[in-house]
Amino acid sequence: MGMTITEKILAAHSGRDSVRPGEIVNAKLDLIVAHDVTTPPAVAMLKKLGINKVFDPSKILVTPDHFVPNKDIKSAELAKQLREWRIEQGIERYYEIGNHGICHAIAPEQGHVLPGMTIVCGDSHTTTMGALGTFSTGVGSTDLAAALATGELWFKVPESMLFELKGSLPRGVYSKDIILYIISKIGVDGARYQAMEYRGDGLESLSMEARFTITNMAIEAGGKSGIIPVDGIAEDYVKARSSEAYTCYYSDDDAVYTQRMTIDLDQLEPIVALPSLPSNGRFIGEIERVKMDQVYIGSCTNGRIEDLRIAAQIIKGHKVAEGTRAIVVPATTEIWKTAMREGLLEIFADAGCVVSTATCGACLGGFMGVLGAEETCLSTTNRNFVGRMGHPKAKVYLASPATAAATAITGTITDPREFLQ
């Protein structure tokens, strides 16, 4: 019986020839990503145990991202602790304010993510990096502490689901619509503790940035990880950023999957997930044009340069609707600078949008766009749970950057195809 790509990676990193779903393995880690929220508690645990050295500083990447620039004293203290710890440990892979970014975006962007790696971070959207053929998953602060101390972590080998992407996306439909469609079909626990694997000719038309959006939201379906086998597009992305050697793994033809699902991309339309679950996806023609108090374009899901280009193409020459505010948040400093050079920031500013530095910001209800009671927001982020972006009585809708831009112009949920030639 063959193995899936996920099983092969875990077998290779646990010193075994093969593994099967349900088995417990102790896998060596290639990269640990640390940010300002979950890392300080992990470090405190280690110090309490008298563990004062990480296993290997060269395999750790640190960037403050959730509450930067610091919004209050408590967040400033977290960033300060992170900064002092990385200096103490001699961690060189560090991205400070002004050269920083959301960890799931900056790690691959800066060439730290290579095919075949095992990667953990104290953040559920670590699944993003599986788009480069890695086993990447989020962990809690306790497991993060163990990983930092030993360079290893135990995993129950997950079962795998296979999603076959066929054809190509129609005009006005994007990768965010693909993943929202999938989650609407399987539910928020439809992939519980499973690896969501993607294959098919439909990937050929999807850029790496589009693929990151898809694997990013594996956790919104309950997935342990998301993963896409490496192809020419992925290799070009990696080789442009790193000269290090790597290993590509591919699923065997007789690998076992719990479920196989085929998605005909050419049949999709723009999708909006209604409050308050990512699984409440509906084709845009099936929902009312609800008024929006706020539109938010950014996050580790859709704050990349491709996303900003898509939004700017639609919003250029228009104004944000009266009674609606629009916030644009590039995911990294490099993306911000690229957007500046390309004139995208000016397009957004001229339209009446607020453009922020890189930060997780309002995605997790942190700051830079937190919602009040009864307010509505259409967001390109990954979650719209009750209270996720602010007040529990606020309502959050999820959609692509294109839908967000069109909605900002009209002030109500709007099909982006209305603004595309």
User: Secondary structure of the chain: what % helix, strand, coil (to 5)?
Assistant: 40, 20, 45
Mean pLDDT confidence for 260-277 = 98
Is residue 421 pLDDT above 90, yes or no? Answer: no
- Domain ranges in the chain? 5-263, 272-413
pLDDT of residue 407: 98
Looking at the DSSP assignment, which residues form a beta bridge with residue 294?
Answer: 325, 377
Segment 307-344, tens digit of pLDDT: 999 999 999 999 999 999 999 999 999 999 999 999 99
Segment 165-181, tens digit of pLDDT: 999 999 999 999 999 99
Contact yes or no for 390/362 (Cβ under 8 A): yes
Segment 122-145, tens digit of pLDDT: 999 999 999 999 999 999 999 999
User: pTM score > 0.75 for this model?
Assistant: yes
Q: Do domains 5-263 and 272-413 have the same CATH topology?
A: yes
Is residue 93 pLDDT above 80, yes or no? Answer: yes
Pick among 3.30.499.10, 3.40.50.720, 3.40.309.10, 1.20.58.220: CATH of 272-413: 3.30.499.10
Distance from the first to the final alpha carbon of the chain = 50
Is residue 47 pLDDT above 90, yes or no? Answer: yes
Among 217, 307, 204, 198, smallest CA distance to 263 is for: 198
Among 233, 177, 173, smallest CA distance to 209 is for: 233
Share of the chain above pLDDT 70, in %: 100
Segment 371-382, tens digit of pLDDT: 999 999 999 999
Is residue 54 pLDDT above 90, yes or no? Answer: yes
pLDDT of residue 388: 96
b/e 119-152 (16+ beta carbons within 10 angstroms → b): bbbbbbbbbbbbbbbbbbbbbebebbbbbbbebb
Task: Report domain 5-263's class.
Answer: alpha beta
Confidence of residue 60 (pLDDT cuts 50, 70, 90): very high
pLDDT of residue 1: 82
Is residue 419 pLDDT above 90, yes or no? Answer: yes
Segment 283-310, tens digit of pLDDT: 999 999 999 999 999 999 999 999 999 9
Average pLDDT over the chain reads 97
